Structure 1
Amino acid sequence: PPAVPLPRPGAPPPAGMAVQVPLWHHYLQAVRQDFQRAEDVLLTVLERVHALDPRFLVDYSRDLGAFQFALRSSEEPLDLEVPLGLDAEDLLIEESGAAEPAGGPACCRLGVPTEGAGLEPWTANDVFSASSESSARCRGHIVPGKVLCVLRDLLVAAIVHCKHHSLIAPGSLNASSLQEEELHLSLLVSSGWRTIRFNVVPVVRRRCRVPAPERTLLVTRFPTGSLERILDQGVDLVPASTQHWRVSTDYLLTRLLGALGSLPGHRLDSISILDRVNHESWRDNGRSAGLAFSHMKMVLLWASVLFPAPEDWADLEGAVYRLLVVLLCCLATRNLPHFLWPGQNLLLASGLDLGTLYQHVEHFASQPEASLRIHVTHLGCSPPPRIDNSVKALLQLPASDPAYWTTAYFDILLDKFQVFNIQDKDRIAAMQGIFRKTKTLGSEES
């Protein structure tokens, strides 16, 4: 896409944008409208679901879905949350003790207390399982597997109703994948000229403070007040299995991405470009397994913290390479930390061939021109590769010493890729200090 920053969700375009980049602005609007046409179909169905069973609510906050859809090139499913009409604070959160794969927060069960008003609809047999253990506090549990079954049946009935009453256009919705046994309900929705897959996910809202790492440091990297406002909204609980729920931070992370989009520079351009390269080149137009947009989102969030200066994002090539050096390091060390729970490794349970994936990303970082050519007539002499053995050795360092996960270390990598353009004397001095340390390590090993 053209090198123009995307507007933050719900914000007017920057002054003069319509004059400077009308084509890109119109393209963005078209993409968002395309998404919202498809979403309108699904919301119409969910309104009928709510009419049939008031326990399931309709979430009309669409900015983030359209925002994320506009950034992506791949056709991964988009989650559409269906909030349950209850508050997790009224329930008993019973952690199972088994953490999520790769070090995430523990899964839990949602118990219904014996003393509690307004919870009778959630003790019906279709969503509730009475406790076999004698407890003075807990009547039983709200079971995610049962909730999904009820929601699936409601979706089928709602779709039939909407089609019969011509509330949705013929052919606009395909429910054939609803029979799949998953922890979400998949629907294909047509927007007119393309089909979008939505994963309908029941969620329970939970008001709890997210324990962001180094919160004071992170606050300085985001627009004033935005990090606190976003993280204090709490998290969602979504199905982790037929019996357990888990924490989902997808909404919070996308909100943080939107906050970054309000800053000047090419942060969102860089993720959009790399997502396209990932889809078309590294994943062979989606035919091969590989990185998801959620991985790219995490890489951008870390890169925005590690590269704090506006100058880091002023140049498009430099912005892309800031994501690339973080991604290469994560693949080389086989560890992509979750932004809010750094102890969780998002690559550990991914099942990806990380060696092959690293080779793809390394080849692009070394000679990006080949992947960015549009037609064979654009072929020409390529610049020499930017990666040598010294860079490969550097990429491994955070695996043995997490202290290398710093701006100074990644500045060295940028310098190796010839895209370090920062004049700050303190950052240059810090980079030189880390470089001397790596040289000392190299001489000791030899």
Structure 2
Amino acid sequence: MSASASHWRSYLGAIVSHERQRLEHFQRAEDILLTLLEDVHARDPRFLVDYARNLEAFEFALCTSEDAVTVEVPLRINGDALRVLACWPGDAPAGHCLGLGTCCLEVPSPGTDLEDWTSTVGVMEQGGGMGCLVPGKVLQHLKELLVSAIVRCQRLFLFQPGDLSAENLQEDAMELSLLIRGGWKTIRFDIVPVVRRRQEPLWLKGRQKDRGFPEGSLWRATEEAHFVPASAHHWRSSTHLPILKLLRAVDTLKGHRLDSLRLLNQLRSQDWGEEGGKAGITFNHLKMVLLWSTELFPCPEDWQDLEGSVYRLLVILLRCLATRHLPHFLHLEENLFRGEAPDFASLYRKVESFARDPRRFLHFHFGLPARTDSWQTDPGTQALLQLPTEDRSYWDTAYFDILLSQFQVYRIQDSTRHSAMSQLLSKIQREIPQQS
């Protein structure tokens, strides 16, 4: 069943060989972007230039596909002086749905050094005469500044013709998209204004602190809240940079965690993408699967060989596809598969077919994805994967150890884990007949 180690290594080696080149493309495009943002800042100092783009560069080099790069433009504003007012479904305009973490940012009283924003950009009046910072007006102002910066930089020949396209700035979206050429590759940058404020680091629903992660990394990743536009009148909490900080922390650990992400993302771009108008698995989904894998398999022994490391991610991904539920790592109540409307049955079949016969897929191709129409899923494995999500014992190391043994990649000698797996297996054997 298993592909030889040389197949795994050669496939990964080809992926990694392109990372340096991708990073060079990013840095060239980033130089143009920073030139524009510096001009924006010179015109309106309330929009700051964040030169610490190492996380975005890290993500771009890691991702094998052409996903957009999110660039947050911090506002020069005392976020701690704002009041965060949670929004309810009734607050949404007709035909709109407010997601989790949607809020308004209220200016509590005069004299809080926020007048330059509320007087120039505008406010949305609330009860009692209080005003809120309006994301739609902030976006519009930033858009106008970007257009002016582009015109000026072109007149001064600060970049070459064809280096930049601003045609997507006409779209009515919650980010400002620019296409910038870095070398021969064009990169899409999605620019969003962000309000930052301090917060108490997230308490992760009683989960073990820093389990599987370097000590203190969860605290450092979540000590600051980031609010970006959710609609013309509402903000939302963004976990984009906190998730990247956690990925960077994972990168400091020994083993093949990030190699597994690289490999599965290449498969995603080749074989697990959109099909028939249905959404596919995204790089953001795989990032979340990796973070869960890091927590659920905290032992360094789990990540010693590449094949076993990939299967740590695979069993969690299969579980999420079978139950149609991928919980956000920092917000358990958020299901990242909600609203995506992917073809779960087709995606599950593709992922399981790789798990059963990886050697058939460990090669590069540029045509149609590998066919899995004739692949018959294993009913025993499916029954195991579809156990009720409400039972938290089916989202823990022992449960996923059982799944690893199903794919014959469980090579852990820890007697405590063997005992936990045996106890849970006895429970499952009683559960599965009831499921059928």
Q: TM-score, normalised by structure 1?
A: 0.87
Aligned counterpart in structure 1 of residue 125 of structure 2, from 111, 128, 131: 131
Secondary structure of the 2:106 match is strand
* 1:351–1:286 Cα change, 3 Å: closer
Aligned residues: 417
* 1:284–1:373 Cα change, 3 Å: farther
For 1:117, the equivalent position in structure 2 comes to: 112
Secondary structure of the 1:399 match is coil
How far does the alpha carbon of each residue in 1:229-252 deviate from its partner, in whole angstroms, 9 at most, with x for none?
2222x1210011110000001100
* 1:284–1:94 Cα change, 3 Å: closer
Aligned counterpart in structure 1 of residue 102 of structure 2, from 94, 104, 107: 107
Secondary structure of the 1:38 match is helix
**Pairs within 5 Å for 1:194-213:** 194-213=185-204
For 1:369, the equivalent position in structure 2 comes to: 359
User: Is structure 2 residue 22 aligned with structure 1 residue 31?
Assistant: yes
Q: Cα distance, 1:171 vs. partner?
A: 1.4
For 1:297, the equivalent position in structure 2 comes to: 287
Q: Cα distance, 1:390 vs. partner?
A: 1.0
Q: Distance in 2 between matches of 1:365 and 1:400?
A: 26
Q: Distance in 2 between matches of 1:166 and 1:53?
A: 22
Aligned counterpart in structure 2 of residue 186 of structure 1, from 177, 184, 187: 177
**Pairs within 5 Å for 1:303-342:** 303-342=293-332
For 1:436, the equivalent position in structure 2 comes to: 426
User: Is structure 2 residue 82 aligned with structure 1 residue 88?
Assistant: no
* 1:24–1:369 Cα change, 3 Å: closer
Q: Cα distance, 1:115 vs. partner?
A: 2.6
* 1:256–1:265 Cα change, 3 Å: same
**Pairs within 5 Å for 1:158-173:** 158-173=149-164
* 1:130–1:417 Cα change, 3 Å: closer
Q: Cα distance, 1:297 vs. partner?
A: 0.6
Aligned counterpart in structure 1 of residue 45 of structure 2, from 54, 67, 92: 54
Q: Cα distance, 1:286 vs. partner?
A: 12
Q: Cα distance, 1:400 vs. partner?
A: 5.2
Runs of 4+ aligned residues of structure 1 deviating over 6 Å after TM superposition are 23-26, 99-104, 284-288
Secondary structure of the 2:290 match is helix
* 1:149–1:158 Cα change, 3 Å: same
How far does the alpha carbon of each residue in 1:163-189 deviate from its partner, in whole angstroms, 9 at most, with x for none?
111222221111011101100011101
Instruction: Report which stretch shifted further, 206-215 or 330-339.
Output: 206-215
Q: Cα distance, 1:442 vs. partner?
A: 3.2
For 2:336, the equivalent position in structure 1 comes to: 346
Structure 1: 5+ residue runs without aligned partners? Answer: 7-20, 377-384
1:133 partner letter: G
Q: Cα distance, 1:24 vs. partner?
A: 8.4
User: Is structure 2 residue 274 aligned with structure 1 residue 280?
Assistant: no
Native 8 Å contact 2:168 2:178 kept in 1:
yes
Native 8 Å contact 1:90 1:116 kept in 2:
no
How far does the alpha carbon of each residue in 1:1-35 deviate from its partner, in whole angstroms, 9 at most, with x for none?
9859x9xxxxxxxxxxxxxx9x9887543322221
Instruction: Report which stretch shifted further, 69-78 or 393-402.
Output: 393-402
Instruction: Report which stretch shifted further, 317-326 or 90-99.
Output: 90-99
Native 8 Å contact 1:88 1:204 kept in 2:
yes
Secondary structure of the 1:340 match is coil
Secondary structure of the 2:52 match is coil
Secondary structure of the 2:191 match is strand
Q: TM-score, normalised by structure 2?
A: 0.89
1:266 partner letter: H
Secondary structure of the 2:57 match is helix
Q: Distance in 2 between matches of 1:184 and 1:265?
A: 36
Q: Distance in 1 between matches of 2:298 and 2:83?
A: 41
User: Is structure 2 residue 401 aligned with structure 1 residue 411?
Assistant: yes
Q: Cα distance, 1:117 vs. partner?
A: 3.4
Q: Distance in 1 between matches of 2:425 and 2:346?
A: 28
Q: Distance in 2 between matches of 1:350 and 1:431?
A: 33
Identity %: 47
Q: Cα distance, 1:445 vs. partner?
A: 5.5
How far does the alpha carbon of each residue in 1:309-346 deviate from its partner, in whole angstroms, 9 at most, with x for none?
11111111111111110011001111100101111111
2:128 partner letter: S
Aligned counterpart in structure 2 of residue 44 of structure 1, from 25, 35, 52: 35
* 1:248–1:284 Cα change, 3 Å: closer
For 2:257, the equivalent position in structure 1 comes to: 267
Native 8 Å contact 2:84 2:104 kept in 1:
yes
Instruction: Report which stretch shifted further, 332-341 or 344-353.
Output: 344-353
